[in-house]
Structure 1
């Protein structure tokens, strides 16, 4: 339920205030008196009258008035005006503020008692109703002018005042609360009703006044039936909502976003454009278009709810995102609900890695949400995918290996010439448990140039064991450069001793093979080491 105050003006030895259901200060009383008088000279007012809407900021109320001809009064040109005053806060709750016009009541006789008390009415009785295609068509040119030419007062010539009353109510009802309560309109003016610091946004005039009105600065004449404006997505989107209110949740969006914006008309068009893009985001390129548009239309930091909607929709359609959309999501990551973000963090990490590997590793230095995305990606991405990314962006190798040391066990990793060696061997030095798999990977990558370092880091004894095992393996990469690998493996005599001692059984052919290297081995040993080695060899079970 809302309370609606009423004010009645009419003729009594001049146009004056006749009744009011609330006290009025001098300024508000003066504004009401002026706005309730006839809307211009030589006015010919139809029997149903006309509507005028304007804010009374001092009262914190919006005035919506209906003015009728008072032909029964002795003074020619007399009028009755019944003004309804609605708190700004109540006006914001009405889905269809135009429904307030049903509460207007023309005086009957000279009994005015009914205007002394406020009207209490049920909000649910003032609901949105579809306007139909005719009202949508008549609204289109006016909407285009109102929101594309926001610096101008829009004036439309027409003879169908009753029909355009529905147009005005539909346009007014579509607006978000801040804009709605600042909007000034008159459905039948006989001259520009704007005053200092109170410019009317929209007025309808008789066609005969076009020339005189057109001379007034900052007034734009619009023909509502011309259909001159070309098809523009935001305009068609807005007009569709006039025909079928809020079917795409456009008004909910305007109400949400409008709360963070100013009350001027210029904000409407970009909001409509963004909502159109959001509702059509499933179309090819829709996400990326929305991302590009929002900063162009609003600039950084504005339209927070719209940004959140775009970011969440982008996460739900990750495969379609281009780099700009990825950056947009990351820039707005703190707006997103943590549980929703967590649900989409791995697919997002995949997309980031695909687009720019360093973008993902850079997140490790960001906030907790960014770190979580990077960690999930690095921990779960397939080895081949990570290695491909490292090849494309070698600055990432150290960060990746910190989370995925297992990459050193992949031959593909060691095929990254000039990238894998230093960080790879650092991992091997720190992870003895990876020595065997890493040595296998290095040999399978056909990297004889790394033989000395691989044997040193993984252990010469381990190297001899693996070389021995691969003696009869067909197509083994190690056998392509067997001499190089054996030479590297036997270069540490102490490690060789460990190999002979630890091996339960040595392939005689392999023993014969490495015997060719005995002089090389012995030349590097002391007498005591030679005796130890001979004892080791004596103990071998062939």
Structure 2
């Protein structure tokens, strides 16, 4: 069994009305308020009002006072009363019930007053459903409930005795949610209208025998209620009373959800009708939405909570589709100010993405291009920020014009190849948006990779302008891997950036002929011969057997321009010679060699094999290359014959040729039989 410890106090007459005993010391303001409210509730006692209950929040404290007052005719002075008060912490207000409070209130006796309330008391209570006592007279209960919760003014009701409505007052107090219950001030027997902290009590009963004209001034702001002619209760009142009769906490729980546990009674008038609709048969979240949005009495924070409940109910009734449709409707509302709900709707949008990405993407697509309110713009932004690259698969051509704006808000989407497949001609705009963002290098890398992986023609200059050498490096790697086709646009753009191409080559951990092939498309052997020579030697050495004619011709051009017996001659001359002999070499490749291999005779400038043989012969003679070096370069009979012919035709070179032939005879272990025979032919 649960229990609550509460303090107590007794007030009564002793040379004036005063505090006689208490288990708690209070501040001056609280003590003064309690002294006034524990005294007789009017100037004179009326029959039937010799005892009554009072409940009120104690000003300046976190306590709620639940008190009972008895007329004290035994005292010699007229108008004296006894009051026993229980001081309940507001945090415990929802734990206590009137069945546990009422037995603890006892009429004080003159003897032993000083020690009668010096210790707190323990209230024992069980968490059981409330008994239906107090709402037996449904018409009276409905009229009072409607007056208390259906409007915000204090309520004053005329009664014949203080006990007449006591049980109804207590049941209404019990039905309130914790925040309202802790702030609700009431009195079952006010001989004149009473106030707490300068404001009239929320609900009080006054003697019907006293003409209302006597307290019209003190209670002019109150709703004067005559229970002798009750009206027809609204549907929500019936629902509250029926739930209370069954011992249910539906109304309290719903109000705490909608208004907040700490909301006061003033939050009720705008909500009770919606409560009625909420539990009305055949009412759905969609039908409640208009009330939740348009009812004028709600505070902004309450409207936000209520709208969240409506959206959650839509999700419970129809799944993610229901939540999405209500969000979509709210984004287009122009006759209601929803600015206070912006954060809620953004959060609901993110929740929709958690529930169903398909429905969330549908929301985003429906809002794109729609005529939105300011709140709608916020919802759309929240949706766009929640998009992931995979969500772009739901986009179609109709959304392509919005892609630059979407990516500007959510740059992470630019790392999705699907975006670039749909971007089309708007790729330039998207890259311009991204370029305005301060993206990290890693993100720029990812964007370039996505563009290249999309399989669509890339906006070359825009991409290179966006990512600089990063784009060049990524493009070259994609070309080398066979993931990207050469295009005139790439050739034009990269050819104008030879330094970036060289940096890419130098940055490769292990060069292969494939990387050399790609680089040869964009740089000339003349751009940086020393750097290129080093890289060509490294790349060809890794896989000499797989070098292409283009790579060989490029390497030969580097070797001939070096004017030394470069190792590139051994790997590049013979393949180039063979391709020239077969007439299969590319025009650009021959263009690299043209100036380095001038014609021997002007009428035979067409003989390209003779021209490179002559260039090699001059280089070999000038370097006095050994027979071993010559045979490492010239591996075919036809190439040896061509070079020997050039050497033999020039009297300045004949001596060098003669020395090679003598070395061949003297050292039969150098070269192959075929190489030696070709060199000695005709000697």
Q: Which bin holds the TM-score, normalised by the shorter protein?
A: 0.5 to 0.7
**Corresponding residue number in structure 1 for 2:69:** 67
Does 1:224 find its partner at 2:224? no
CA displacement at 1:225 relative to structure 2: 5.0
CA displacement at 1:102 relative to structure 2: 2.8
What is the CA–CA distance in structure 2 between the aligned matches of 1:33 and 1:432, rounded to whole Å? 82
What is the CA–CA distance in structure 2 between the aligned matches of 1:62 and 1:364, rounded to whole Å? 43
The CA deviation string for residues 97-128 of structure 1, in whole angstroms up to 9 with x for no partner, is 67422311123563434422110223536863
What is the CA–CA distance in structure 1 between the aligned matches of 2:96 and 2:90, rounded to whole Å? 14
CA displacement at 1:50 relative to structure 2: 0.8
The CA deviation string for residues 417-475 of structure 1, in whole angstroms up to 9 with x for no partner, is xxx99679x99x9889689xxxxxxxxxxxxxxxxxxxxxx9xxxxxxxxxxxxxxxxx
CA displacement at 1:211 relative to structure 2: 2.6
Does 1:288 find its partner at 2:289? yes
Does structure 2 retain, via aligned residues, the 8 Å contact 1:19–1:116?
A: yes
Q: Which sections of structure 2, spanning at least 5 residues, go unmatched? A: 333-337, 408-412, 431-450, 458-484, 486-683
CA displacement at 1:300 relative to structure 2: 4.4
Larger radius of gyration: 2
What is the CA–CA distance in structure 2 between the aligned matches of 1:431 and 1:104, rounded to whole Å? 82
CA displacement at 1:257 relative to structure 2: 5.0
Return the match for 1:10 from 9, 12, 15.
12
For 1:133-172, list aligned pairs within 5 A: 133-134=135-136, 137-150=139-152, 152-159=153-160, 161-172=162-173
Does structure 2 retain, via aligned residues, the 8 Å contact 1:349–1:376?
A: no
Does 1:311 find its partner at 2:314? no
Return closer, same or farther for 1:273/1:365 CA change in 2, 3 Å cut-off.
Answer: closer
**Corresponding residue number in structure 2 for 1:271:** 271
What is the CA–CA distance in structure 2 between the aligned matches of 1:332 and 1:46, rounded to whole Å? 53
What is the CA–CA distance in structure 2 between the aligned matches of 1:89 and 1:310, rounded to whole Å? 29
What is the CA–CA distance in structure 2 between the aligned matches of 1:246 and 1:223, rounded to whole Å? 29
What is the CA–CA distance in structure 2 between the aligned matches of 1:344 and 1:72, rounded to whole Å? 75
Name the SS for the 1:161 alignment partner. Answer: coil
The CA deviation string for residues 54-94 of structure 1, in whole angstroms up to 9 with x for no partner, is 22223432111111233444444432211111122222x42
The CA deviation string for residues 472-512 of structure 1, in whole angstroms up to 9 with x for no partner, is xxxxxxxxxxxxxxxxxxxxxxxxxxxxxxxxxxxxxxxxx
Q: CA RMSD in A?
A: 4.6
Does 1:347 find its partner at 2:359? yes
For 1:9-408, list aligned pairs within 5 A: 9-44=11-46, 46=48, 49-91=51-93, 93-94=94-95, 96=97, 99-108=100-109, 110-112=111-113, 113-124=115-126, 128-131=130-133, 133-134=135-136, 137-150=139-152, 152-159=153-160, 161-194=162-195, 197-213=198-214, 215-216=216-217, 217-224=220-227, 226-228=229-231, 231=234, 233=236, 235-248=237-250, 250-256=251-257, 258-259=259-260, 263=264, 265-279=265-279, 283=284, 285-289=286-290, 291-293=292-294, 296-298=296-298, 300-302=300-302, 304-316=304-316, 317=318, 318-320=320-322, 321-322=325-326, 323-325=328-330, 332-335=344-347, 341-350=353-362, 353=365, 366-367=381-382, 370-372=384-386, 378-379=392-393, 381=394, 386=396, 390=398, 395-396=401-402
Does structure 2 retain, via aligned residues, the 8 Å contact 1:364–1:371?
A: no
CA displacement at 1:46 relative to structure 2: 3.8
Return closer, same or farther for 1:432/1:313 CA change in 2, 3 Å cut-off.
Answer: closer
Does structure 2 retain, via aligned residues, the 8 Å contact 1:147–1:268?
A: yes
What is the CA–CA distance in structure 1 between the aligned matches of 2:205 and 2:305, rounded to whole Å? 35
What is the CA–CA distance in structure 2 between the aligned matches of 1:357 and 1:20, rounded to whole Å? 70
Q: Which sections of structure 1, spanning at least 5 residues, go unmatched? A: 410-419, 436-457, 459-542
Does structure 2 retain, via aligned residues, the 8 Å contact 1:64–1:84?
A: yes
TM-score (norm 1): 0.61
Name the SS for the 1:5 alignment partner. Answer: strand
CA displacement at 1:156 relative to structure 2: 0.3
TM-score (norm 2): 0.50
CA displacement at 1:53 relative to structure 2: 1.4
What is the CA–CA distance in structure 1 between the aligned matches of 2:66 and 2:246, rounded to whole Å? 24
